[in-house]
Structure 1
Amino acid sequence: MPYRDLTRTVDTDMPVFPGDPTVTVEPHATHQEDGYRVSAVECGSHAGTHVDAPSHTEADGRTLDALDVDRFARDAVMADCRGRSPRSPIGPDALPATDADLVVVRTGWDEYWGEGTYFDHPHLTPEAAEFCVEQGYDVAIDALNVDPTPTDDAPSQGVPAHHALLGRGHLVFENLTDLADLPRRFRFLAFPLKLADGDGAPVRAVARYD
């Protein structure tokens, strides 16, 4: 059974949500000086490919360490939402109704990783997020955010999709990559670091399929 890594490599100065902590990966100990290697890693809890726990946007939301580990293994369905213009909305009509428990929204925006355009990704409308709740879906996306990302040229519009999803106990996975040629249905595995009181954490996201 094939596996596909859908995860961004954690590296110094990788793209992050505006205002979030920057990422650094630096040598702490080396073979030459210490006889072994240790890296010092500094990042925010939502760096790279990560999961948002309900407590990310909801004051009374559950934290990562309160969730069972099987919560991060999902039966996924792909929604092909490519070909859209920057900052365009994705409505419920673009999403499938199935018996899956996670929808993977493929925007194609992962190709802009490291470019300014990456921040101008398509996004879910509040209605699309509500549709996902009605279907029982968690949501994953190959973009920085399920909501519009604020920039100098685009003021914040808040996080209505996050509130709709996380406020009902659903999970959000962001910054996926390498979705090309995956089947429409597959098993999605994305296990986070078990951070105490975690509002989110990096994951190693993997697709498993026939």
Structure 2
Amino acid sequence: MDKWLDISQPLNEKTACWPGDTPFSYKLNWTKQDGGSVNVGQINLSTHLGTHIDAPFHFDDKGKKVIELNLDIYIGPARVICLPNPQCFSIHLLQNFDLDGVERLLIRTGSWQDRSIFPESIPPVEPELSGFLAEKGVKLLGLDLPSVDELDSKELPAHHQLYAHGIHILEGIILNQIEAGEYFLSALPLPLMDGDGSPVRAALKRIGI
């Protein structure tokens, strides 16, 4: 039986954080060393740190929050494709792949190698790609990058257009060792009642071989 392949960023003080956002921290509030019966830790982090999903409320005040999202979006068959170091994600690039019936599309770019350093720039998703992907049946787009838009974007056109076409967002996955092909994805968010996003433990299992 194929093993689950972890595609999540490890969370520690070295995990790159969006500039100005809340970095990761962990401390033990209770310890066995100090005479307690257990070790009990406390974590503090942004909801968009490491491997995470964006809820529509992240960029739309009327958008759904994490607890309102359908879990079926984040678990099920997925396809991994490779687009090494693209300038952007465009219809021109994606039309070269057979994506008919693909509900969960994960794209490996290799554009963000050192996860301890937040990148200065990333290839953005062109907004018009959203309609193209929706016509193919895509409901979840996952990237090995911290965003689907340019990092200095204030309008976030890709976020809005993906949402308008029913496509949800998974960011910060690690695909360096993942071959292109068919997989089963599990990337479930935490049940955050008011969440605009959530860290996930994303994993893949190879299928179809």
- Asked if TM exceeds 0.5, the reply is yes
1:25 and 2:12 correspond: no
1:195 and 2:196 correspond: no
Amino acid at match of 1:92: I
Amino acid at match of 1:109: S
Q: Which runs of 5+ in 1 are unaligned?
A: 151-155
Alignment of 1:1-210 (within 5 A): 1-33=2-34, 34-84=36-86, 88-95=87-94, 96=97, 97-116=99-118, 118-137=119-138, 138-150=140-152, 156=153, 158-210=155-207
Instruction: Judge conservation of contact 1:110–1:175 (CA < 8 Å) in 2.
Output: no
In structure 1, C-alpha distance between the alignment counterparts of 2:61 and 2:154, rounded to whole Å:
19
In structure 2, C-alpha distance between the alignment counterparts of 1:31 and 1:99, rounded to whole Å:
52
Where 2:162 maps in the other structure, the secondary structure is helix
Deviations 1:174-201 (A, max 9, x none): 0001343434121111011100122110
- Greater shift, 10-19 or 192-201, is seen at 10-19
Deviations 1:1-27 (A, max 9, x none): 321000011112521223322221122
Return closer, same or farther for 1:199/1:167 CA change in 2, 3 Å cut-off. farther
Aligned residues: percent identity?
26
How large is the RMSD of aligned CA atoms in angstroms? 1.9
> May I ask how many residue pairs the two structures share in their alignment?
201
Deviations 1:55-112 (A, max 9, x none): 211222222211232232132122311133xxx2221222232211011111102422
Post-superposition offset of 1:139: 0.4
Where 1:32 maps in the other structure, the secondary structure is coil
Deviations 1:136-173 (A, max 9, x none): 311000011111112xxxxx353111111123332100
Using structure 2 for the length normalisation, give the TM-score: 0.87
Amino acid at match of 2:11: V
Instruction: Judge conservation of contact 2:77–2:182 (CA < 8 Å) in 1.
Output: yes
In structure 1, C-alpha distance between the alignment counterparts of 2:167 and 2:142, rounded to whole Å:
11
- Identify the structure with the greater helix proportion: 1
Instruction: Judge conservation of contact 1:140–1:173 (CA < 8 Å) in 2.
Output: yes
Instruction: Judge conservation of contact 1:61–1:167 (CA < 8 Å) in 2.
Output: no
Post-superposition offset of 1:126: 1.1
Using structure 1 for the length normalisation, give the TM-score: 0.87
Where 2:128 maps in the other structure, the secondary structure is helix
Where 2:198 maps in the other structure, the secondary structure is strand
In structure 1, C-alpha distance between the alignment counterparts of 2:81 and 2:180, rounded to whole Å:
11
In structure 1, C-alpha distance between the alignment counterparts of 2:130 and 2:148, rounded to whole Å:
9
In structure 2, C-alpha distance between the alignment counterparts of 1:56 and 1:38, rounded to whole Å:
30
